[in-house]
Amino acid sequence: MEPAQPTNARPVWIVPAIAAALALLFVVVLAVESRDGGSAAPRASGATTITTAPPADVPPGNRGNPLPIGTSGVLGGWRLSVLSSSRAGDVVTASVQLLWDGQDGVAGGDAKVLQLDAQDSAGRSHPVGGAACAASPITDLATVPPLDAGQTTTVSLCWTVAGLGQSPVGLAAKVASAPDVTVFALAG
């Protein structure tokens, strides 16, 4: 007579087969998540994954992506570059190099046509000068003689930007008659 077999007995091969199937499933999930840019970390059941498109590249030279200190930008027949900048409280100063490249066909570049304002993080413009700049050197652009093509000059500028705190500030540069503004980073 044969011994009785328990009713809950499983074939010996079933446990390793289940373990192998689970391991394969885990590898497939990791591969799919890695390909889709997702995280391989385990998720809670019922969790939702939201994938967003990366932000579009913001071209340099605007408030969202100002030109870094030392980088030149072109507007009109001018090439400008913030050489250095500092800030203390409500005072922002900068040394700015102006180069007349003569692209507009005008023999001499007149710095009086430039409008160089500080722009706070809210987009408000602050003209050169102000009460807090009394002790700082300021170059009045009206005193800069016209520049020949290829000629440069360096100007010292100061702005009073009340309530600036730690907010970023930029140099919003434009030629008075043109609507385009190029923004350069200032000390932040």
8 Å CB contact between 138 and 132: no
Confidence of residue 26 (pLDDT cuts 50, 70, 90): very low
Condensed to tens digits (0 to 9), the pLDDT of residues 109-128 reads: 889 889 999 998 888 899 99
The domain ranges of the chain are: 72-185
Please report the pLDDT score of residue 79 as a whole number: 92
Instruction: Tell me how far apart the alpha carbons of residues 19 and 29 are, in angstroms, rounded to a whole number.
Output: 16
CATH number for the domain whose boundaries are 72-185: 2.60.40.1240
Q: What is the pTM of this model?
A: 0.66
